[in-house]
Amino acid sequence: MEKGISVGLMGFGTVGMGVFRLIENHREKLQHQLGCDITVKRILVVDPDKHRDIQVNSKLLTVHVEDILEDPEIDIVIEVMGGIEQTRDYLKKAFQHKKHVVTANKDLMALHGTELENAASRNQCDLLYEASVAGGIPIIRTVKDGLIADEIQKITGIVNGTTNYILTKMDDEGLAYEDALQKAQELGFAEADPSGDVDGLDAARKMAILARLAFSVPVDLADVEVRGIRNFPVDDLKFGRRLGLTMKLVGVTQVRDHQVEVGVEPVFLPEKHPLAAIKNENNAVFVNSAAVGETMYYGPGAGSLPTAAAVMSDVAAVVKNMITGIQGKSYLEPSYEKKILASHQRFGSYYVRLHVQDVAGSFTIISSIFNELDISFERILQVPKKQDNGTAEVIIVTHETTQDKIGKALENLQTNDVVEEVKSSYRIEGGMAQ
């Protein structure tokens, strides 16, 4: 491509500066591999006079989005500024002006991905978003291209580095939730308002994107069952260790008879499960497929250069499509209508922690509640009674049962006189440790 490729960069924060650095520092390599030069022509910023830890020609900076969207010389818009509704409008205008778009915006793609992909296709433009899920891990390209001839059956992922860091510090160092969160904030892993991370919404948005791509079903964010780790009790981590289990905030999506399950929740994993070894702010995605079997993709889930590298892989893909004349042809309509697995179709083993009256016959009553629902026990752990209050702590690990049955059992336990409190319950992913 003789004239080279001009890029408009929307956003110049951590990721935006990372993208700029990669383009500037790897210009010769990119030109050699793609056969054309890539140049940043315009950068949309809020404050052109703000001090930045990067040298950039002030003439590139603009506060007017039209300088990017309406410039006929700009071929690709890189969106790394965040936001949802206004950003959606900007990208739709970019498509109308025949500009390809690369975005790292998981929130936008989870909520409006189908609409934007349709808009891109109508205008014969590409819309790529590898950096929106798991940072530098090329999981979207793996799902769309690497396993294209395979049948993906299940995806299990640690896709939020903040919560993984918090749980790692609680598990390895015995920190309370509040202390682990504060440490994450001090290191910049968690925002001042960590709600999106600790309440599971960030991971839910990523899992909605993966489910849509993996199973060709129009999954929406509202279809994702979400449970976060806010105020997570460190006691459960300690009991989990005694049972050979490790806690992670995990996203799971799977399909059965074209019915999809998508959820995010804290789950226990056997210590030998590959995801159990993922520490601190790292991400990992575990894929089960019919032909290849089990594969795992691991790496940093955020950060300036890892995310920027994912953005630039998409930019390179767009350039190759432009050279070969196949731009705007990658989007495929979902193949199947959306059908969500009901709770009686969702199976798993469960960890349940109870405070019960330490009197004769209590455990017989508890057992009968589970037996009535045909739920059997795999393991039982009883802790000596607490001083002065006459209660005992009981941890039960069930054999596989359904989500609706365990829900009913918990309801019945809550209203039973011998149960002082149902302290916690969590699903166990991948079976019990031996």
* Catalytic (active-site) positions: 206
257 by Cβ neighbours in 10 Å (0-12 / 13-18 / 19+) ranks as exposed
Residue 99 near residue 9 (C-beta atoms within 8 A): no
